[in-house]
């Protein structure tokens, strides 16, 4: 059985105000073509389908058009779980209709863990694999709040909750495995594992309060033959285990990912185990397929002559890159924007962001009032307020923890649910 693992599409995401629908459309068309050409039997999408919980009409149209295209191909099953950016109720709303296309959607956990156990059936309608489709586990789904808990207690209970839920789902899968014969068990998840790699500006946010609840690979049951993870945008394996992987985002979410090679994972898994192997898992063949670059992102950093020289080089190649300019010269360049905009005039290049490092440094040394929101996140703003009011010691720690809890609660709120 051939399975394709991808994640973190973030359909609808923009880059400094620039909509990126053409990129998402090109990627989804490419992916549908790859699924057909490689004879993929099942597609697994490990969360963060959309960039927000309220995707635009155009983002939704791209999503549903893709699912229709895949269902018309030889791919027999699609399994989609929600990520932390997705609205569980939004993804779940059409799930009964999508089942007619063999698209299985798991937007949130339910009271019955069996709802997350999905059979992938072959042409003869006989199960060939079992998928443990575990969606993003929200704090309130897996942990009971207790008065007087420390941040360490909360993180420990979160990890225990994640481990307990995977154990419950996999226990059901193992029982089904015994009923239907020796077929592989495929796990899915959307979480942050310990030691996971991130990139500056990739938009990956911490999932739980305290930024410490990163699970280790040991929490996942040993019956899982392959674990298809989402959330981290860098393609990577977990804890040197080849069968536990992040597919990564297929499109660079920011300039920090611009030089990163994007890929999807194709897993050729034997539908029966190897009785002579000391490892109980089914044999796997894992290959990465590079995702083409649909829009070049170019970060140019340096002195004024270095910036203009690089722009001239790109112009000579008829580049259509979107540019991020960072001026690092010693002299104050108050007319930086005019110079670079003139340099790219009459080209297909676009300037998406300009950072005048020397001006920023001078202003910051005098006052923080002119910082832009591009340079700050909500935690930075809150920290500035604590500094302004000279809050220190235990009171500062308590306020930071309370602030983190509020932000986590807001991020996890399902605005589409009644």
77-113 pLDDT, tens per residue? 999 999 999 999 999 999 999 999 999 999 999 889 9
- C-alpha 188/C-alpha 131 separation (Å) is 7
- φ, ψ at 143 (rounded to 5°): -140, 135
Contact 46, 228 (CB under 8 A): yes
What's the confidence (pLDDT) of residue 60? Answer: 98
| pLDDT of 182 over the 80 cut | yes
Strands 297-302 and 103-106: unpaired
Going from N- to C-terminal start, the domains of the chain cover 2-290, 297-412
| pLDDT of 213 over the 70 cut | no
Helix H or strand E encompassing 326: strand 322-327
The residue among 386 and 267 whose pLDDT is bigger is: 267
For the record, the structure tokens of 411 come out as 């991020």
Q: In what side-by-side order are the strands of the sheet with 297-302?
A: 297-302, 322-327, 350-356
Residue 398: which pLDDT band, with cuts at 50, 70 and 90?
confident
Q: Where are the alpha helices (DSSP H) in 257-392?
A: 304-316, 336-343, 357-366, 378-388
For residue 193, the cross-strand partners are: 215
Fold match, 2-290 / 297-412: no
CA distances from 167 to 81, 129, 172, 187, 245 (A): 18, 18, 9, 11, 19
What's the confidence (pLDDT) of residue 74? Answer: 87
For the record, the structure tokens of 218 come out as 């040991």
Task: Calculate the CA dihedral of residues 125, 65, 89, 266 and round it to 10 degrees.
Answer: 60
- C-alpha 296/C-alpha 349 separation (Å) is 10
Q: What distance, in Å, lies between the first and last C-alpha atoms of the chain?
A: 40
For the record, the structure tokens of 40 come out as 């993929």
Express each pLDDT in 18-73 by its tens digit.
999 999 999 999 999 999 999 999 999 999 999 999 999 999 999 999 999 999 99
Q: What is the pTM of this model?
A: 0.84
Residue matched to tokens 């969360």: 47
How many other CB atoms are found less than 10 A from the CB of residue 251? 23
Contacts made by residues 314-317, CB under 8 angstroms, sequence distance 24+:
314/347, 314/349, 315/344, 315/347, 315/349
- C-alpha 369/C-alpha 111 separation (Å) is 49
| Average pLDDT, integer, range 161-185 | 94
* CA-closest candidate to residue 173, choices 128, 228, 130: 130
Q: Just give the CATH number of 297-412.
A: 3.30.160.720
The residue among 249 and 392 whose pLDDT is bigger is: 249
| pLDDT of 387 over the 90 cut | no
| Average pLDDT, integer, range 297-321 | 95
- C-alpha 248/C-alpha 313 separation (Å) is 31
How does the average pLDDT of the chain come out, rounded?
87
* CA-closest candidate to residue 341, choices 333, 351, 331: 351
What CATH homologous superfamily does 2-290 map to? Metallo-dependent phosphatases (3.60.21.10)
């Amino acid at each position: 059985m051939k399975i394709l693992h991808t994640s973190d599409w973030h359909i609808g995401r923009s880059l400094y105000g620039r909509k990126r629908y053409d990129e998402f459309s090109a990627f989804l068309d490419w992916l549908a073509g790859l699924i057909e050409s490689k004879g993929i039997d099942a597609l697994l999408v490990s969360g963060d389908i959309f960039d927000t919980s309220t995707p635009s009409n155009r983002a939704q149209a791209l999503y549903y058009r893709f699912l229709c295209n895949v269902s018309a191909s030889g791919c027999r099953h699609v399994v989609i779980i929600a990520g932390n950016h997705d609205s569980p109720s939004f993804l779940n709303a059409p799930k009964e209709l999508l089942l007619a296309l063999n698209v299985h959607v798991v937007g949130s956990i339910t009271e019955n863990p069996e709802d997350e156990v999905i059979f992938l059936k072959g042409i003869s309608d006989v199960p060939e694999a079992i998928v443990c489709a575990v969606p993003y586990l929200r704090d309130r789904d897996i942990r009971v709040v207790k008065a007087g808990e420390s941040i360490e207690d909360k993180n420990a209970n979160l990890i225990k909750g994640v481990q307990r839920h995977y154990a419950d789902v996999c226990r059901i899968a193992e029982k089904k495995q015994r009923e239907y014969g020796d077929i592989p068990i495929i796990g899915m998840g959307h979480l942050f594992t310990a030691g996971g790699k991130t990139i500056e500006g990739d938009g990956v946010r911490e999932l739980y309060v305290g930024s410490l609840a990163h699970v280790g690979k040991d929490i996942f049951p040993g019956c899982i033959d392959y674990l298809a993870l989402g959330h981290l945008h860098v393609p990577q394996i977990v804890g040197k285990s080849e069968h536990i992987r992040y597919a990564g985002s297929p499109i660079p979410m920011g300039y920090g990912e611009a030089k990163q090679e994007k890929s999807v994972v194709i897993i050729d898994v034997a539908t029966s185990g190897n009785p002579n192997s000391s490892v109980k898992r089914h044999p796997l063949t894992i290959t990465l397929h590079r995702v083409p670059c649909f829009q070049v992102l170019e970060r140019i950093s340096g002195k004024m002559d270095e910036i203009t020289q690089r722009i001239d080089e790109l112009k000579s190649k008829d580049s259509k890159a979107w540019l991020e300019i960072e001026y690092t010269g010693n002299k104050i360049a108050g007319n930086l924007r005019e110079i670079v905009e003139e340099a790219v005039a009459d080209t297909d290049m676009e300037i998406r962001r300009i950072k005048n490092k020397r001006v920023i440094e001078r202003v910051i040394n005098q006052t923080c009032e002119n910082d832009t929101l591009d340079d700050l996140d909500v935690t930075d703003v809150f920290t500035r307020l604590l500094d302004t009011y000279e809050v220190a010691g235990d009171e500062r720690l308590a306020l930071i923890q309370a602030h983190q809890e509020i932000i986590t609660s807001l991020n996890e709120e399902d605005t589409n649910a009644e």
